[in-house]
Amino acid sequence: MITLLLALLLAVPSHAAAPTVKDAQAFMDRAEGVLETLGRRSAFASWAMATNINYSTEWLAGDADNAYSAEAAKLAHEARKYEKLKLPADLARKFLALKLTVTSPAPPDPKDQKELSDVKVWLESTYGKGKYCPTPDKCKTLDDLEDVLRSSRDPKALLDAWQGWRTISPPMRPKYQRFAELSNMGSRDLGFKDTADLWRSGYDMTPEQFSAELDRAYIQMKPLYEALHAYVRRRLIEKYGPDALDADGLIPEHLTGNMWGQSFENIYDLVAPPKSKPAFDLTERLKAAKYDELKMVKTGEAFFTSLGFEKLPATFWERSMLTRPRDREVQCHASAWDVENGQDLRIKMCIKINAEDFVTIHHELGHNFYQRAYEKQPYFFRGSANDGFHEALGDTIALSVTPEYLKTIGLIDTVPGPEGDIDLLLNKALEKIAFMPFGLIVDKWRWDVFTGKTKPEDYNKAWWALVRKYQGLKPGNERTENDFDPGAKYHIPANTPYARYFLANIYQFQFYRALCKTHGHTGPLHRCSYYGDKAAGKQLGDMMAMGSSRPWPDALEAATGERQLDATAILEYFAPLKAWLDEQNKGQTVGWKAE
The torsion of the CA quartet 493, 496, 498, 504, rounded to 10 degrees, works out to: -140
pLDDT for residue 16 is more than 70 = no
Q: What local confidence, expressed as pLDDT, does residue 246 receive?
A: 78
pLDDT digits (tens, 9 = 90+) for 351-390: 999 988 998 999 899 999 999 999 999 999 999 999 999 9
Q: How far apart are CA 570 and CA 574, in angstroms?
A: 6
Q: How confident is the model at residue 14 (pLDDT cuts 50, 70, 90)?
A: very low
Q: Higher pLDDT residue, 484 or 331? A: 484
3-state secondary structure 81-127: HHCCCCCCHHHHHHHHHHHCCCCCCCCCCHHHHHHHHHHHHHHHHHH
Give residue 458's pLDDT: 98
Looking at every residue in the chain, the average pLDDT score rounds to 92
pLDDT digits (tens, 9 = 90+) for 200-214: 999 999 999 999 999
* CA 491 – CA 146 distance, rounded (Å): 17
Q: What does the pLDDT average to over 566-578?
A: 96
Catalytic residue among 226, 333, 356, 491: 491
Region 391-403: mean pLDDT is 88
Q: Can 491 be counted among the known catalytic residues?
A: yes
Whether the per-residue pLDDT at 279 is higher than 80: the answer is no
Res. 1: pLDDT tops 50: no
- Report the percentage of the chain scoring pLDDT > 70: 97
Tens of pLDDT along 417-440? Answer: 887 889 889 999 999 999 999 999
Rounded-to-integer distance, Cα 48 and Cα 42, Å: 10
What is the pLDDT at residue 257?
96
Catalytic residue among 364, 367, 390, 431: 364
Residue-wise pLDDT for 214-240, tens only, equals 999 999 999 999 999 999 999 999 999
161-181: burial string, b at 16+ Cβ within 10 Å, e else: bbbbbbebbbebbebbbebbb
Amino acid type, 282: L
**Per-residue pLDDT averaged across 35-51, rounded?**
95
Asked if residue 4 has pLDDT above 90, the reply is: no
pLDDT(250) > 50: yes
pLDDT computed for residue 12 by the predictor: 47
Let me know: does 116 contact 106? Beta carbons within 8 Å.
yes
Q: Say yes or no to pLDDT of 8 above 50.
A: no
Q: What's the pLDDT at 15?
A: 56
DSSP 445: H
Nearest to 571 by CA among 233, 223, 231, 272: 223
Domain residue extents for the chain: 21-127+175-181, 282-427+499-579
Spatial CB neighbours of 15, under 8 Å, sequence gap ≥ 6: none
* Residue 526 a catalytic site member: no
- In the DSSP assignment, the letter for residue 312 is P
Cα–Cα distance, 404 to 208 (Å, whole number): 43
Looking at residue 594, its pLDDT comes to: 82
pLDDT-derived band of residue 69, with 50, 70 and 90 as boundaries? confident
As assigned by CATH, the class of the 282-427+499-579 domain is: mainly alpha
Given CA atoms 541, 545, 546, 548 in this order, what sign does their dihedral have? positive
Burial (CB count within 10 angstroms: exposed 0-12, middle 13-18, buried 19+), residue 154 = exposed
Is the pLDDT at 546 greater than 60? The verdict is yes
3-state secondary structure of 346: strand
The kind and range of the H/E element at 338 are strand 335-338
Nearest in space to 163 (alpha carbons), one of 136, 134, 143: 134
User: Which has more pLDDT, 310 or 242?
Assistant: 310
Task: Please count the other Cβ atoms lying within 10 Å of the Cβ belonging to residue 454.
Answer: 21
- pLDDT at position 242 is 83
- Whose CA is closest to 273, among 420, 423, 421, 153? 423
pLDDT digits (tens, 9 = 90+) for 529-541: 999 999 999 999 9
pLDDT at 208: 93
Question: Of residues 137 and 4, which shows the higher confidence score?
Answer: 137
Could you give the CA distance from residue 560 to residue 396 in angstroms, rounded to a whole number?
12
